[in-house]
């Protein structure tokens, strides 16, 4: 059950001028959060921006011993810029945890899974990597971005999963292989690796390509989708996406984690 809480800003770490991690006190949201959940945050002051903004709960962690939620944010507009400027101690209205998390309860210690991230799509995969590591489930990370600065929190992923399980791709070749993250993943499949499930978050173009690869390889997937959201809990219908059964599904309530086989990619 989601709660609306006022959570204090504990720390902001700026990676570069476009990306930062925001840590807020965990409140009662922290213990209820599962990998893939998100929160709606009042990102500015007054009416700018008017609506809350959606962010994946990237991690449930501690800051100087205080239980904390981490959000990893890319600045794209007024809300994400305002959130970056809040001073330590500022109370932030946060509604969460929201949505359907990644399916992980059915995984066995003998399973091997893949995590595929594009750009800021790393966010929901951090807590997933931490949780899988704690359960002893082997996970390979395939993470791509435009350049090295786009590929965030590498140290955390390598600590949770092991450096040998983390592979990177960048458009300009500044980190890892030059090219797309889906090419990295295709190479792994060509090497004969068989994944129990593939968890992914990234831009729509990455999702489309990955959905095709998974269908061809008959692999199960769970994609943390994004859509522009006004309410975050199934009321405004602003976030719907077309499904193969002809329906439209609310990404905030029936997602954000959905099976790619259920999405009608041609109509999206
Ligand atoms: C479930 C969910 C989880 C998300 N998790 C994260 C996260 O962990 N980190 C992160 O940085 N961002 C995340 N986002 C995207 C984030 O919500 C948007 O970047 C944010 O709402 C933009 O707000 P703004 O006021 O800065 O931009 P605005 O000034 O409102 O818009 C700037 C530009 O961003 C586009 N935009 C606005 N909202 C979205 C959206 N929801 N998706 C895609 N484009 C949008 C607008 O069309 C416009 O082009 C998530 C979105 C969803 C739905
Ligand atoms: S954001 Fe309002 S219904 Fe999904």
**CATH 2.40.30.10 matches 3-98:** yes
**CATH 3.40.50.80 matches 112-224:** yes
Between the CA of 39 and the centroid of ligand 2 the distance, in Å, is: 12
Between the CA of 47 and the centroid of ligand 2 the distance, in Å, is: 20
**52 alpha carbon, closest ligand:** 1
Atom of ligand 1 nearest to the CA of 227: 53
Atom of ligand 2 nearest to the CA of 236: 2
DSSP state letter for 35: T
pLDDT in tens, 46-87: 778 889 999 999 999 999 999 999 999 999 999 999 999 999
Between the CA of 214 and the centroid of ligand 1 the distance, in Å, is: 26
Q: Six-digit token pair at 144? A: 């791509």
Number of other residues whose CB lies within 10 A of the CB of residue 135: 13
Place of tokens 């719907």: 240
Atom of ligand 2 nearest to the CA of 250: 4
pLDDT reported for residue 1? 87
Q: Which of 40, 53, 231 to mutate for ligand 2's pocket (most ligand atoms within 8 Å of CB)?
A: 231
Answer yes or no: is the C-beta of 243 below 6 A from any ligand 2 atom: no
Question: For the chain, where are the alpha helices, taking DSSP H only?
Answer: 29-32, 78-83, 123-134, 154-161, 181-190, 204-217
Residue ranges lining ligand 1, Cβ < 6 Å: 38, 49, 53-56, 71-74, 76-80, 120, 123, 226-229, 256
Among residues of the chain, what percentage have pLDDT more than 90? 97
pLDDT reported for residue 46? 74
Instruction: Residue count of the chain, please give it.
Output: 268
Between the CA of 220 and the centroid of ligand 2 the distance, in Å, is: 26
Domain with CATH 3.40.50.80 in the chain: 112-224
Low-confidence ranges of the chain (pLDDT < 50): none
Domain with CATH 2.40.30.10 in the chain: 3-98
Nearest to 151 by CA among 130, 126, 177, 170: 170
What lies within 8 Å, CB to CB, of 188 at 6+ separation is: 114, 140, 142, 167
Between the CA of 15 and the centroid of ligand 2 the distance, in Å, is: 30
Question: 121: alpha, beta or left, given left = phi > 0 and alpha = psi -120 to 50?
Answer: alpha
What lies within 8 Å, CB to CB, of 113 at 6+ separation is: 107, 132, 137, 138, 139, 140, 195, 196, 197, 198, 199
Q: What share of the chain is helix, strand, coil (3-state, %, to 5)?
A: 25, 35, 40
Between the CA of 42 and the centroid of ligand 1 the distance, in Å, is: 13
Nearest to 63 by CA among 88, 40, 43, 83: 88
pLDDT in tens, 223-250: 999 999 999 999 999 999 999 999 999 9
pLDDT reported for residue 45? 75
Place of tokens 């959606």: 54
Q: Which of 53, 72, 95, 102 to mutate for ligand 1's pocket (most ligand atoms within 8 Å of CB)?
A: 53
Q: Which of 250, 255, 256 to mutate for ligand 2's pocket (most ligand atoms within 8 Å of CB)?
A: 250
Q: Which of 43, 52, 54 to mutate for ligand 1's pocket (most ligand atoms within 8 Å of CB)?
A: 54
Q: What is the pTM of this model?
A: 0.96
């Amino acid at each position: 059950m989601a709660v609306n809480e006022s959570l204090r800003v504990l720390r902001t770490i700026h990676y570069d001028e476009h990306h930062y991690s925001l840590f807020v006190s965990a409140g009662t949201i922290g213990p209820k959060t599962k990998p893939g959940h998100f929160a709606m945050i009042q990102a500015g002051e007054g009416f700018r921006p008017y609506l809350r903004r959606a962010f994946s709960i990237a991690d449930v962690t501690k800051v100087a011993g205080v239980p904390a939620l981490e959000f990893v944010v890319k600045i794209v507009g007024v809300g994400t810029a305002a959130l970056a400027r809040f001073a330590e101690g500022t109370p932030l209205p946060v509604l969460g945890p929201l949505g359907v998390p990644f399916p992980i309860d059915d995984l066995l210690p003998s399973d091997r899974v893949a995590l595929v991230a594009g750009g800021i799509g790393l966010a929901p995969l951090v807590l997933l990597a931490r949780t899988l590591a704690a359960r002893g489930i082997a996970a390979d990370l395939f993470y791509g971005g435009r350049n090295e600065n786009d590929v965030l929190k590498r140290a955390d992923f390598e600590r949770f999963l092991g450096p040998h399980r983390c592979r990177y791709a960048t458009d300009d070749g500044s980190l890892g292989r030059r090219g797309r993250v889906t090419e990295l993943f295709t190479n792994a499949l060509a090497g004969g690796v068989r994944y129990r499930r593939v968890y992914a978050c990234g831009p729509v173009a990455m999702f489309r390509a990955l959905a095709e690869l998974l269908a061809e390889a008959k692999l199960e997937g769970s994609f943390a989708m994004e859509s522009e959201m006004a309410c975050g809990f199934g009321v405004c219908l602003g976030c719907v996406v077309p499904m193969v059964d002809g329906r439209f599904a609310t990404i905030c309530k029936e997602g954000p984690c959905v099976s790619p086989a259920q999405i009608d990619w041609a109509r999206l």
